[in-house]
Every structure is written in C-alpha cells, then in structure tokens.
Amino acid sequence: MKIFFRKSAEKSHVQMINKKSISLLLLILITVFFTIILNLIVQAKPLINITTNYYSVTGKTVQEIANNLYNNSPVVFQGKKYHAYTSWNVKWNFYWQKYSNYCQITSVKTSVDVKYTLPKLISYSGLSSPIKKKWDSYYKALINHEEGHKNFGVNSAQNIEKAILNMDKKNTCPELKKSANNIAHNIIKKYVDREKEYDRITHYGVKQGAIFP
C-alpha cells in the first residue's frame, strides 16, 4: 500500500508539474503572439503607390546620349532641364471616438502616391563596354537619388500616422480634427523643406554620381 501510494503521489505530482508547464507555455506563446501583433500595428507602413513614366534616350556615343538626354527630358524646373523628377503626395485618414466629455483618435491610415519621371536608354546595341559601364553607373546613381526623394514622402506619411495616433484627446471632435490636420500639414512642410536641402547638398544628385557624361 505504501509503495503504491508513493507511486500514485509521484505520478500526480508529475501531472501537476506538466499542467503548470503547459499553462506557462501557453501564457508565453500568447504574450509573444500579441507582442508581435502589437509591433506590426505600431510599425505599420503607409500604402505606397508608384508610377514611373519614361522618356526615350538614344545614341551610340557618350555625347550623342548626353545630347539626347537633354533634348528629350520633359523635366524643367525654374527654366533649367533635369534628367529626372520624383513627386510624392501623402494622404491621411483618421478615425475618432466621441465620449461624453472628450474626443480621441482611434486609428490612422496613410498612403503615398509616388511618381517618377526617368530616362530610358532604348538600346545597348552597338555601345562600347566603357559607354555601357558609364551609363549603368550614372543610372544607378540617378535611381538612388530619386529614391531619396521618395523616402521623404514615405517618412512624412509614417510620421503623420504616428503623430496623429499619439495626439492628446480634445474636448470636441471638430477641435480634434483640426488639430490632426494641422499636425499632418506641419509634418509635410518639414519634409518638403528637408527635401529641398537634400537637393541643395547633393547638387540635384550630381555629387552622388548622377551625372552624364
């Protein structure tokens, strides 16, 4: 009887430990799951829509290609021609909940419409290896510079989403709406100013290698 009792007691003890272990494991898994979901929500990225318009470039020599770039480019700013252009437009939507004595933001969604205007070398046929290499190096630098412009739009959208979501509650919903829109417009202005400085520092991409020839 004693031996049987001891075995039975040991078995019950093991079962109890197993149940506790399983419960603890489930709790850990649930915590990890909701942590991941929360991080995904916090780090949610804006919807990005990209449109690319190309203009044709031809030529067999470096000078022919350079002349064609200048003549065919539709990008003109302050009377000067450029090889490429990136525009972005940020949109935001926010939702709120009205309570008895205040109004509070509940969710925010943002999107960015990006439009590239880029050159496209129609054919590599007949080009020498040095010219191909020069074009490829230039084009890579050009894309890198234009993606920098795109990132200003994306970053502004991310900051708008975060700022509006974390803004303080207001006494009335119209006051909340006005404040949220003011926040968004101020962020847009900040990134537009940064974008202008980006072009100034890089000399419109020239210092990044976006120059041909």
Query: Which residues, in sequence order, are bridge partners of residue 86?
Result: 116
Q: In 3-state terms, what secondary structure has residue 114?
A: strand
Q: Pull the structure tokens for residue 200.
A: 């100034």
Query: Which residues, in sequence order, are bridge partners of residue 108?
Result: 94
Higher pLDDT, 79 or 12: 79
**DSSP assigned state of 187:** H
Instruction: Look at residue 178 in the predicted model and tell me its pLDDT.
Output: 98
Cβ atoms of 206 and 198 closer than 8 Å: no
From residue 155, give the alpha-carbon distance in Å to each of 27, 72, 88, 184. 36, 32, 11, 12
How far the first Cα of the chain sits from its last, in Å, is 98
Q: Where are the domains of the chain?
A: 1-43, 45-208
Whole-angstrom distance, CA of residue 95 vs CA of residue 83: 41
Q: What is the DSSP string of 13-63?
A: HHHHHHHHHHHHHHHHHHHHHHHHHHHHHHTPPPEEEEEEEEEEE--SSHH
Give me the mean pLDDT over the 124-136 stretch: 96
Cβ atoms of 82 and 142 closer than 8 Å: no
Tens digit of pLDDT for each residue in 59-116? 999 999 999 999 999 999 999 999 999 999 999 999 999 999 999 999 999 999 999 9
Q: In 3-state terms, what secondary structure has residue 166?
A: coil
**DSSP assigned state of 203:** T
Whole-angstrom distance, CA of residue 169 vs CA of residue 173: 9
pTM: 0.78
Instruction: Look at residue 112 in the predicted model and tell me its pLDDT.
Output: 98
Whether the bond into 213 is cis, omega within 30 of 0: yes
Share of the chain above pLDDT 70, in %: 79
